Amino acid sequence: MPSEVSAPVTISKDATSYPILIRVTNGASKKDKKIKYSTVVENKDLEDFWKEYANVLKNGITGLKKKDKKKNKKKKTKAGVSK
């Protein structure tokens, strides 16, 4: 089954800026669980893109739980120390 192909981005030869390709994944190691996203952002829209991207990340982080730190402090013995 052929996949959809988006229209290519055309750039005039006198343009001084180029669009930026941004790719992200969900970080899963298994192929069946891995999700990939990509987008093309124009330079003029880059600042707005990063603001929105930061908001998405902040909203996703709120559900994370901090790791519990174990208190495994071993007391040092003073064997062999004389005053």
Nearest to 50 by CA among 77, 74, 12, 20: 20
Average pLDDT, integer, range 63-75:
67
Higher pLDDT, 23 or 79: 23
What is the rounded CA–CA span in Å between residue 57 and residue 61?
A: 6
pLDDT the model gives residue 26: 83
Residue 19 has pLDDT above 60, yes or no: yes
- Could you give the percent of the chain with pLDDT greater than 70? 64
What is the rounded CA–CA span in Å between residue 42 and residue 73?
A: 53
Q: What is the pLDDT of residues 25-38, one digit of tens each?
A: 888 888 888 999 99
Residue 7 has pLDDT above 70, yes or no: no
